[in-house]
Structure 1
């Protein structure tokens, strides 16, 4: 049977189609060299609105993924895609995109095949033929996810110091709800464009002005503020002293509130500890039951790191005069065993595997977070490509791969000739035996 390995890339909060730059094609090239018996192709999930309920976003992504995989199964002339799929998928997510990927895996792993005769309880279910394939509830999954590769995804939340550093400037300057939103986005590395670009983005996405509205008295001010603080706090934007500073600007936040809170709701899961824990427990169970693993490549500052203590402007805010950043200089909060120096934590303890991706050029954690896929800003970019390839090849279903009959004729439409492996040594390409 012809087999296809599909690598699907999902951007994070306020990201876009260009988040991964050349990374998908370079990864496809080296994986294709390592797995010559199958077609390796990529798909970048189109830019989506990173707002609203996370589950709604996951549902829309799942529908898109299913349609994409069905098209590939049809092209492969697969006899029974749900029983013996020709397409296996790796979900590759950056930042919040990794959480979308993990939630999609958990959703698909929880689904069960439809009973043979679900509409009638009085009649016995028809017996399958002797040679008919039977789908066991514990093995059914469509589309079939083979693994999740996350990149700087805050599965345990954002590291201390990153939040405080991003929020400090925000509370000093908060005058409109759009400013509030852009400063929260700044924690993820977005909203730092030139003044002209920022103005254009504001005109397209946000209200042009956010003065107090005529119906502001319809809801008591403390209720309006309480609801806003819930979302802002969930996004990691409320630090010590920040609530009081922002409350003084509360009249400027009443208009456009729904627009702002909808975006902040998307990242609100980062502050719900029980939800983070439940997600990790789910990933552990999927790994134990199905052998499907989730790996998180987390950024870590190297030689270019700034001081671990950041000074703040004296007398201008109610913040502490010093912000202490994480000793590990990471964007993501790490599990204790990784913080203690282990290179990679086992999935049975941490819910997933953690692999360090050091950036020796970035000066701060946010810069490292957004420059993972920029060769000019991340000296270890090609090392990241190679390490990702190795991780993916090790995780692949060996039985599924070994039953492949080889790439389809004319597969160049899916996979261009592998001509860009000069940045890796031949010994670095892992081949399935």
Structure 2
């Protein structure tokens, strides 16, 4: 990975600690943040209430997220709430440098994120987030929470709780709880209906294809696209790919999800069989080495491989390197590996999240609900401090429903309400046929 030198240029009137690429990019970032904000009416309403009520006054928050224009609107809402928040990147390739600059220069929010930062810089930023001595961690993949538990046990008494944005992060948190290491509440934001039904399905579905198209400029119609994993992200990618005219194959390890994919009209095969058929491969499983050396060996010449799962482990790039004689970038975010067999395999976004490495991530309108969940989860943790059990807990039903209600209201849609007679019927066990 190319390492981008850190520039921590502080203007005379800026005292906020930060590490961003260049503060002079702030005007472009402000435009981008405001454009995204137009599509985030739910978070805007929450921000306005937060500004009036200050429900997080004095609460220290460490947020580890993709530093995008949508995340910026969450950070601004947290500052309006009275929180003392620090923001770091959750992925080395997802940062929008102009957005990071704007948050520092225009909003006074400490940001430590540079697009292309190396792993050492990323881990140092995790330490900076923990040096903030957070009461709440907003996590995306649970790296900050894991580092806290493993290396900062003396800070655990200061933790009110965490919120987790991703399926991958929740897998880690559940394993942590099973091992007796998760001693505080962790809100499963990813499991909120107003998050995974929309963000994962519609957001990941659209933005993954957007990343593929931006990186390659290829026509999807008529291509064979292999989607590894049929969770909500996989469903979104498969549905959108079919909508663009692709022939979609799904690979799965879960028999129920495999049946669902079949009944949704997709062909289901093991990766060992799909490898020789696919033109484009998308991994969205949350697991490691879904595409391995034996699969690369079977692929067509010029097969394209990309990942939309959180970590860059889904594609076994070590094995691919071992099978290759060379690799080089042939376009932005597009790397060609020349195999010893004479064939080539194309990897997009260095195996990291293609929708953020090669595009701009989820559309703001779906992140509106996801980040509304994050903001309200933080408020819930503070209001219920000392009352919640340790472990992974769900977003309260009434918060989920309120976010959906606000979204409908913002887009001008009304729905039916139950009559008194219907309420009585729904709460009765004596009325039947």
What TM-score do the two structures reach when normalised by structure 2? 0.31
**Larger helix percent:** 2
Structure of higher RCO (CA pairs closer than 8 Å, 6+ residues apart): 1
